[in-house]
Every structure is written in structure tokens, then in C-alpha cells.
Amino acid sequence: MRYREFGSTGLTVSEIGLGAWQLGNRKDWNGPDEAESLAIVGAALDAGVTFFDTAPGYADGHSERLLGLALRGHRDRAVLCTKFGHTPEGTDFSTGALRGSIERSLRRLGTDVLDIVLMHSPPPELCDGGLVPHYGILEDLKRNGLIRAYGASLDWPQDIDMVLATTDSKALEVYLSAFHQETWEATERAGAAGAGSVVKVALESGWLTGRYDASSTFVGVRSRWTPPEVRRRAALTARFLELVPEGWTPVQTALRFVLANSGVSTVIPGTRNIAQLTANLEAADGDLPADTLAALRALFAKEIAGDPLPW
């Protein structure tokens, strides 16, 4: 495992982290049960993973609870990131809900301090400078020792730039992948400004593993894609697979691609079982060949830029 500084926060994180949306999440992801969830986190720790990402709304709070249980006795080895806005009870981005949400996350995670708290994909009207009051509360919580860093989970470059321009945020979670490079330059700007960035959806919900093609059918959250979107994604996936370097896996290629961005601190591929964790961890060493990086940048510029793929 290799490690990177998380911006100017003083935190150090593993390049490959663990996205915990799936832990205990039988409803959305047919995720692992409690025993397997604990085993996944334990195996990640054994492999040198130090960054763990969760949220109150994941598995109706069970993700936080399971993560806290798995990290009991190992808290000093973990950088914990959770979020605000989507909860087991529903969506609430009001300033009055912020402190209580963080206090509940602290209890579920069994810790006295949260390393990172992120506004969880806030609605557009709040991204446009409307979250400044929230960040004042977060700054107070930081001064009081309940959190170490704060920021937002975002999908688009204009939102990243807005958060950097209007707040003292030093933590971001960004949607960045071979198929979603719109945030590439903004993520580099964030890094230059001292903000650490966590990459989400780097595997495009499984497409960049090579698992799906035009004949694939989907249930649950993946059923969001229309037939034309499936066909387009399948064609792009075929092009992506042609660019995978000899001796590399598609997962390695997809994860090392985002880690080639100078602003990225860690990437959090989701993991439903130990086999997926092992596949993700294969990207823990080695750098993507420069010609592959250039080819993937060119693929996006030619086939996707200006016509984004719906998530």
C-alpha cells in the first residue's frame, strides 16, 4: 500500500480506501451481512487500508455502526469520513440538523472525533454559495475538537470551485472516472489549494470492471440506466477494455487512472465481498503507463466531453 497526504489537513491516507456504502446494505446493493462486513473491514486493515468512507444514510445507519464495530481497538489506524444531509429518516440539509447528525454519527461509529465530515451531494441551490452558514457550524465543531476537516461531496467542477472560493474547506469527495473526467482540472485546482480529494464512483458502478456489456440487465439502483444509456456505456466500456495495459486488470487501470490526478488523495471503490476487496487492492502498487493515461484522456475528449454520461 502507498500513502498520500490529505491536502493540508495533516491527515495521511492510503491510496486505496474502503467505500462502505455496501456494508450491511441488503436493500440497495445486496451487500454483505454483519459477519462478512466485519471481515471485509478487517481484511482491509490487514492490507494497509487506512481510509474509510461512510454516511448516516448508508444502510439506514448500519454502515456507520458496522464500521465502528469493526474498527473497535483499531481507531488509531483509521481515517474516518462520514457525511451530512441524507439520513435514515430522510433528507435534511437544514443548519439546525447539522450538529445532531454529527453527534449521532459519532455514537454509531463509536468514536470521539470524526476525521472528515462532508456535505453529502448538496442540492444545486445550496452549492451556489448557499452552504456558507453550514460551514460556519462545521468550523465551530472543528474548533471544539469533534471533527478535524470538512467539505463536500460533489460531482461537477463549478461546484468544486464554488466550495473552494466561498469556504475554508480542506476536504472534498469528487466524482471522477475514465468516463467522468469533467472534474479532472477542478480536482487538480483543489489539490493546489490545499484540499484533499476522495474519488467516488471510480469504477462507474461496475462498468469499468468489465463485468457488463450491451446484453446486461440491472436491478436495484443500477436499473436507473435506460436502454440507450446501457448501449452507450457498453460501447465505451469496450473501448476502455482495449486500452487496458498488458498484464493489468480493468480494475487496476480504472483506479490508477484517477490516482494519476495530482489532486487526488485516495479512491474508495465499493466492496461487497473479500474477492472484490482483493481485486481493488491490486491497484495499490504501480503507476499507470503514460501512454494509457493519455489514451484514456483522449477517449473522454472524443467520445464523452460535452455529452456527459448520466450517473
3-state secondary structure 24-74: CCHHHHCCCCHHHHHHHHHHHHHCCCCEEECCCCHHHHHHHHHHHHHCCCC
Predicted pLDDT of residue 255: 97
For residue 272, CA distances in Å to 64, 223, 277 come to 15, 18, 8
Q: Is residue 309 pLDDT above 70, yes or no? A: yes
Which pLDDT does position 265 carry in this prediction? 98
Q: Is 289 exposed, middle or buried (0-12, 13-18, 19+ CB in 10 A)?
A: middle
Instruction: Report pLDDT digits (tens) over 231-245.
Output: 999 999 999 999 999
Query: How many angstroms from the chain centroid is the CA of residue 163?
Result: 17
Report the residue count for the chain: 311
β-partners of residue 270 are 19
Query: DSSP strand E in 110-250: where?
Result: 114-120, 147-154, 171-175, 196-200
Report whether 51 contacts 268 (CB < 8 A): yes
Count CB atoms within 10 A of the CB of residue 280. 28
| Strand-strand pairing, 171-175 and 196-200 | parallel
Q: What percent of the chain is predicted at pLDDT more than 70?
A: 96
Band the pLDDT of 64: cuts 50, 70, 90: very high
The structural domains of the chain, with segments of one domain joined by +, span: 3-209+249-286
Q: From CA 165, how far away is CA 4, in angstroms rounded?
A: 24
Is 3.20.20.100 the CATH number for 3-209+249-286? yes
Higher pLDDT, 57 or 3: 3
Greater model confidence, 203 or 286: 203
Average pLDDT, integer, range 248-277: 95
Q: Give pLDDT, residue 223.
A: 87
Please report which helix (H) or strand (E) contains residue 258, including its range: helix 250-259
Decide: 90 and 124 in contact? Cβ < 8 Å. Answer: no
- CB atoms closer than 10 angstroms to residue 282: 15
* Tens-digit pLDDT profile for residues 67-81: 999 999 999 999 999
pLDDT at 260 over 70: yes
Confidence of residue 131 (pLDDT cuts 50, 70, 90): low
Which pLDDT band, with edges at 50, 70 and 90, does 150 fall under? very high
pLDDT grade for 130, boundaries at 50, 70 and 90? low
User: Does 25 or 110 have the greater pLDDT score?
Assistant: 110
Confidence check: pLDDT of 126 > 80: no
Give me the amino acid identity at 7: G
**pLDDT at 12 exceeding the cut of 80:** yes
pLDDT for res 84: 93
Q: Determine the residue type at 48.
A: G
pLDDT by residue (tens digit) across 28-47?
656 778 888 899 999 999 99
pLDDT at residue number 111: 97
Give me the pLDDT at residue 229, please.
Answer: 96
The CA distance from 104 to 64, in Å, is 10
Cα 216 from chain centroid (whole Å): 25
Q: Which pLDDT band holds residue 85 (cuts at 50, 70, 90)?
A: confident
Q: Quick one: pLDDT at residue 62?
A: 86
The CA-based angle 220-23-267, given to 5 degrees, is: 90
Q: Is the pLDDT assigned to residue 188 strictly greater than 70?
A: yes
The radius of gyration computed from the CA coordinates of the chain, to the nearest angstrom, equals 18
Q: What are φ and ψ of residue 133, in 5° steps?
A: -60, -35
Q: What letter represents residue 309's amino acid?
A: L
From 3, 58, 150, 175, the catalytic residue:
58
- Mean of the pLDDT values across residues 173-180? 98
150 is catalytic: no
Question: Is residue 274 within 8 Å of 40, Cβ to Cβ?
Answer: yes
- What mean pLDDT is predicted for residues 271-300? 93
